[in-house]
Amino acid sequence: MPDLHYENPLLADIYDLDSGWSIDRDFYLALAGKEPKRILDLGCGTGLLSDAYAALGHAVTGVDPAKAMLDVARQKPNGARIEWVQSPAQAFRCEQQFDLIIMTGNAFQVFLEDEDILATFATMRRHLAPDGMIAFETRNPAIDWPALWNRDTDLDIGGRAIRQSRRILKTGNSRVSFETRYTLADRTLVSTSELLFLSRPDIEERLNASGLRAETVYGDWQHEPFDGAVSHEMVFIVRAA
């Protein structure tokens, strides 16, 4: 079932309040450099990063399966300059190749089955230009994420108070499922999510099987090397094999 967090228009509207500009966006923005690039943003969501790339003169294609997220993305300041495509990453196809392909916001973890992971890597490989780069991140499964995720957050959208509450539902088999409740004055919306936590060797095995290779794996957004014991993130920089 689609995650309500991405499919509900109200929740799409408030997405940037909870997941606004941050250090990871700075990292991905810098990857493009100063010369104009062709950029594919897979799982672009509300288009925050796609919009920033377009503002710098890059040619951007933003792809997302959720119509509600793309509706928000099109309203960004540079939205008219971006090609928006409603499609899952696994199925996206076009005639272009791209200098930079990104998948941000830990979107990689929504792919729960090998067939979806391999199909997504096939999309990346097919659309990667010669000498092009792929970048994506995923959370390190060695970290106790459930201990960090049970929390309440108060948001404000146009003077409208929203209480966001996240609770872990189940863990096991490299997966974590959780529920996020959005409590408004007149209603409560509930989004249920499940994420896959693969290890670095598991991901590299699937990259290699897809004709790709991990050039570098960072452990944070300051370009520190990945440390399997303590790094929260695995940030993959990938090239064609």
Predicted confidence (pLDDT) per residue in 68-94, tens digit: 899 999 999 999 999 999 999 999 999
Q: Give the Cα separation of 114 and 124 in Å (integer).
A: 15
pLDDT at residue number 1: 45
The predicted model scores a pTM of 0.92
Instruction: State CA 120 to chain mean position distance.
Output: 13
pLDDT in tens, 98-110: 999 999 999 999 9
The set of residues, in sequence order, having a beta carbon less than 8 Å from that of 224 and lying 6+ positions away, is 218, 231
pLDDT at residue number 190: 87
Q: Give the Cα separation of 21 and 104 in Å (integer).
A: 12
What residues form DSSP beta bridges with 63?
42, 85
> Of 101, 37, 93, 95, nearest to 239 (Cα)?
101
> H or E element: which one contains 128?
strand 128-139
* Low-confidence residues of the chain: pLDDT under 50: 1
The answer to whether residues 203 and 138 touch, using CB atoms and an 8 Å cutoff, is yes
